[in-house]
Structure 1
Amino acid sequence: MLERREVLSTGLSLLIGAAAPRSLGAAPPFVRREGTILRVGPDAYRFAGTNMWYAAYLGADAPFGDRARLKRELDRLKALGISNVRILGSSELSPLKNSITPAFRTQSNHYDETLLGGLDFALAELGRRGMRAVIYLTNFWEWSGGMMTYLYWTNGGRYINMNDAAHPWPEFPDMVSQFYSSVPAVNLYHDYVRAVVGRTNTVTGKAYAKDPAIMSWQLANEPRPGGSDAVALKQMSAYLAWIGATARLIKSIDPNHLVSTGSEGTQGCIGRDDCVVHAHEFPEVDYVTAHIWPQNWSWADPKDLAGTWPTVEAKTLEYIAAQTAIAKRLGKPLIIEEFGFPRDGGSFDPAAATTFKDRFYGLIYGAVAESMKKGGPIAGSNFWAWGGEGRAQHADHLFVRGDTAYLGDPPHEPQGWYSVFDSDASTQALVRSHASALVA
């Protein structure tokens, strides 16, 4: 078993201890946790959701933004019954090969008001539609700059690119994990957390901390303690300390909203359930998260989806059962906040069929519905990801810096890999049916 987390005695604990809680009266519209149930007022909050990392980019009043498209996309999602959208709330200007520009921030503490204004606009539009956001505040991976960029800013300029042949897996995640024990890097990140969580929306005039359009603040997208077992175990105490310190910091600024880690679950915690338990047992962490990626995890062969489907089905249900058991052990809700599957033949073309993708969505939605029916801890799901009217701008389906067509697939991935397009009628029918059943 892992050692229990150590009492924070570093500069991080001093940093958090110095933050005095603000008095902010909670209002009924906020989502709150009650054991393994999420509630709004007296009612259980159960949702069908999606991921739309680029919402703030579309919301920006700039040439790279498109506010009219953002409104159209949210209208489409609302019509499907989607009520929860997980979005990017930070990006770090980075030398990393696949990172997006522009970015929310540089190394300085002068953050980009254009993109923050885009986040303001996105939240205002979500609120107008009665929808809620989950906002992640940095990234373990390279596509938005993320933790590697914080290290680059504070370690003398050292970094490595993901998928660099000179630095094969797991060198990238092992290096990223140094972030948790780097006081200068974490301090820069916490400065940004303070600024965003404590922000007042320039569109609505409402403090973020008082805005029911936000469901949850999320520490990061898919934070991991490391890539290899040896490095992850070495960094585990720092990883857990970072989770606890950041969750407390967020709650000290905004006690009205939920806090979550953004973890993949066991798959992102060196395959150890006890690691996930320790990462989510902090009282300031309100619910457990799980991500499910059959192709990425070698359960599915995109060229033989029919032949590998039995493995996909068995391992997916097994994984959901394991994450459900963790949530029950902790007495907290579970959100399956990322899940995705390739189109038939592994195609990235919106015209390609979605036979097995639809089957996979049905598998996830069935497990969610069954948990809810039996009083289990699963409170909702967010498919990855809404691409809407976005289309790849290049024949090779690769993202190029400066592209503004924004799909659900981030810049490091083939454009169209996991996106649900506005033309995907059968997939949308599944989403609509599931969302409707949750409110029946």
Structure 2
Amino acid sequence: MVDARAAAAAAAAWAALLLGWAAAGQAAAPPDISCFDCAWLEELPLDEWSAERNSTREVLPWGQVVEFPPIDYRRLAEELCECVQDSLEGSYGSHQPPNHSVQAQGTQFVLHDEPFYFAGFNAAQALSWAASNSSQLLDNLQSLFANAAELGLRVGRVFATANGIKVRPPFLDEFDRLQPELEPLPWLTLQPAPGVLDEAVLEGLDYLLSLAASHGIKLVLTLADFHAVFGPSPAGIEPYIQWVIGSLNLTGYTVLDFYRDERVKLLYRHNLCHIANRASSLTGVKYKDDPTIFSWDLVNEPRCPACPGATRGAVLSAWADEMSAFLSCVDPNHMIHVGSEGYFTETAPEYIAANPGSWALCSGVDFVELALLPHIHYGAAHMYEEMRFQGWIQAHFDASSAVTGKPFVLEEFNKKWDERRRNQLFRLVQATFRAAWQQNASSPAAGAMFWGATAGDTIDWDGWQVRLDGGRSAPAPSERAEKLKAQMPPEQQQHSVLYQLCQAVVKDIFAPTFAGYSSNTTVSRAGSRHLSLPARALMLMLPGIRGMQYQHRRW
């Protein structure tokens, strides 16, 4: 699978470069091993947990048999400790040259001692494409990154995991038959069972990192998804609870169990450590030492509605504090953040009015509380149709400047298929970031990433895509898809790939001006920033480079 990929040669060169840094004696000092103490695991009732989880078996309505094997928690705990020891001992960081990963310094990102600003993209389907054996999907992926680099998009965000048992109702075959000329997405899981990682999918992730590196693009790796997305590579958190209880039926359980159950947290840590400590099959470089990684995203859009605590975001913040401390111990080279929607609560009451509605106070998400955590390096927020656009972004600029003192990234934004309104949204983001740079030399306005790029022959079932390679325009969703959905039973409509799997993308209206801003910015010895901006660098988005053109895709 890997030999056929065009980026193998570039990946080998990348590995040689990384190993050359190590040979030059630029290794990072090993961190204090006391940052993680395995002794606490002995305090957990590991054997009792294992005894409670017998093998279980369920038959789904369409006849698929699902099995949950027993879990040996003691073995997983031992593997976790071995993984941490492997990270902390030996030539730790031997491939990581000083200043070669992007770091947060105050309210700015810095790379090679220079400010780093970026325009970026989300590509939720990237792991599925990378781990496929499909030449068509791999061509799509290569086109996506090549066009992203040409447009000056410097950072991409992808899911670095897919969890749980493959559950595929037969009605989904109907979607494949709607466009028989297109390659169906492979149904894969990186972690099909606790502590079990699929090597073929890991090789796809290796390839994704190498491909990004060959185009000079850095990647945010998202490690879980709060949403119970149903489809080819689900990254949701619910499999962790399903594994623990031995059933797909989560009746009686809530998201609070994900954040507080020690069994779930053990499984999650096990996955974090083994992903971070993964040595690429293409380069031999461990992920924790690879400067291609921009940051680790602990979980996408987490919530904890009505969860108990001293503050509305206390449960989520406590979990993020615990997991970010662990991950920074295993990998101190890279930044860590939470891919939150960015809501404000009573911890910063002056910004509550910027929320999209009063319901946001009950989401269990606190932007300020999360960003203030010691091992969280920057704040993130997402922006969609219901937001008060400019006020929402400005509130995060202000909170990041006045309260958190850390960079801010607008990590997701988009509007459903509507050429005029989508153009307006992109221009609004452009204007708001540009104004922030002009008004404040140390603005935390560090980067913006539109939701989900695509390229190649794709179908946009629900209208979120933006094509990076041009292509024909088409409305969304198709009339045939609507009729098919109407014929489904209600429970299948609820989990329909039509509206839950398909989270697609945005277009090349998003141009490379963050890059232009960074490359024309210097930092004086006193730390102030001197600007030399070309005219093009003042335009974050340049509509009409190839024209706003859309095409359907099932992502």
Instruction: Verify: 1:363 aligned to 2:437, yes or no.
Output: no
Check conservation: 1:132, 1:213, Cα contact below 8 A. Answer: yes
Mean CA deviation greater in 57-66 or 151-160: 57-66
CA positional deviation for 1:24: 2.2
- 1:50 is paired with a residue whose SS is strand
CA positional deviation for 1:284: 1.0
Letter paired with 1:152: Q
Instruction: Verify: 1:254 aligned to 2:328, yes or no.
Output: no
- The whole-number CA distance in structure 2 between the counterparts of 1:378 and 1:254 is 26
CA positional deviation for 1:378: 1.3
Instruction: Verify: 1:323 aligned to 2:396, yes or no.
Output: yes
Deviation by residue 1:258-307 (Cα, 9 ceiling, x = unmatched):
1111111116963689932222222111000010111xxxx3xxxxxxxx
Which residue matches 1:386?
Answer: 453
The correspondence for 1:290, drawn from 369, 381, 389, is 381
CA positional deviation for 1:417: 6.7
Which residue matches 2:528?
Answer: none
Check conservation: 1:288, 1:332, Cα contact below 8 A. Answer: yes
Check conservation: 2:117, 2:447, Cα contact below 8 A. Answer: yes
% identical equivalent positions: 22
Q: Root-mean-square deviation (CA), in Å?
A: 3.5
- The whole-number CA distance in structure 1 between the counterparts of 2:42 and 2:497 is 32
- The whole-number CA distance in structure 1 between the counterparts of 2:433 and 2:269 is 34
- Scaled by the length of structure 1, the TM-score of the pair is 0.76
Instruction: Verify: 1:276 aligned to 2:367, yes or no.
Output: yes
- The whole-number CA distance in structure 2 between the counterparts of 1:316 and 1:360 is 8
The correspondence for 1:265, drawn from 336, 342, 349, is 342
Instruction: Verify: 1:336 aligned to 2:410, yes or no.
Output: yes
Which residue matches 2:16?
Answer: none
CA positional deviation for 1:376: 1.2
Which residue matches 2:289?
Answer: 210
- The whole-number CA distance in structure 1 between the counterparts of 2:411 and 2:43 is 29
Which residue matches 1:184?
Answer: 263
- The whole-number CA distance in structure 2 between the counterparts of 1:125 and 1:13 is 43
- The whole-number CA distance in structure 1 between the counterparts of 2:41 and 2:136 is 39
- The whole-number CA distance in structure 1 between the counterparts of 2:265 and 2:228 is 17
Pick closer, same or farther for the CA change 1:364–1:411 going to 2, 3 Å.
Answer: farther
- The whole-number CA distance in structure 1 between the counterparts of 2:514 and 2:101 is 23
Structure number with larger C-alpha Rg: 2
Which residue matches 2:32?
Answer: none
Check conservation: 1:177, 1:232, Cα contact below 8 A. Answer: no
Letter paired with 2:282: V
Pick closer, same or farther for the CA change 1:330–1:272 going to 2, 3 Å.
Answer: farther
CA positional deviation for 1:415: 7.7
Check conservation: 2:115, 2:518, Cα contact below 8 A. Answer: no
CA positional deviation for 1:89: 0.4
Deviation by residue 1:181-238 (Cα, 9 ceiling, x = unmatched):
11111211111111101111111221112211101011011112x23x3568798544
Deviation by residue 1:143-178 (Cα, 9 ceiling, x = unmatched):
125111211111342545xxxxxx9xxx9xx92232
- 1:38 is paired with a residue whose SS is strand
- Structure 1 unaligned runs (5+)? 1-9, 161-166, 300-311, 345-353, 400-409, 421-426
Check conservation: 1:109, 1:191, Cα contact below 8 A. Answer: yes
Equivalent pairs counted in the alignment come to 376
CA positional deviation for 1:55: 1.6
Mean CA deviation greater in 261-270 or 124-133: 261-270
- 2:299 is paired with a residue whose SS is coil
- Scaled by the length of structure 2, the TM-score of the pair is 0.61
- The whole-number CA distance in structure 2 between the counterparts of 1:271 and 1:370 is 32
1:119-130 mapped onto 2 (5 Å cutoff): 119-130=205-216
Check conservation: 1:58, 1:67, Cα contact below 8 A. Answer: yes
Instruction: Verify: 1:53 aligned to 2:124, yes or no.
Output: yes
Letter paired with 1:431: A
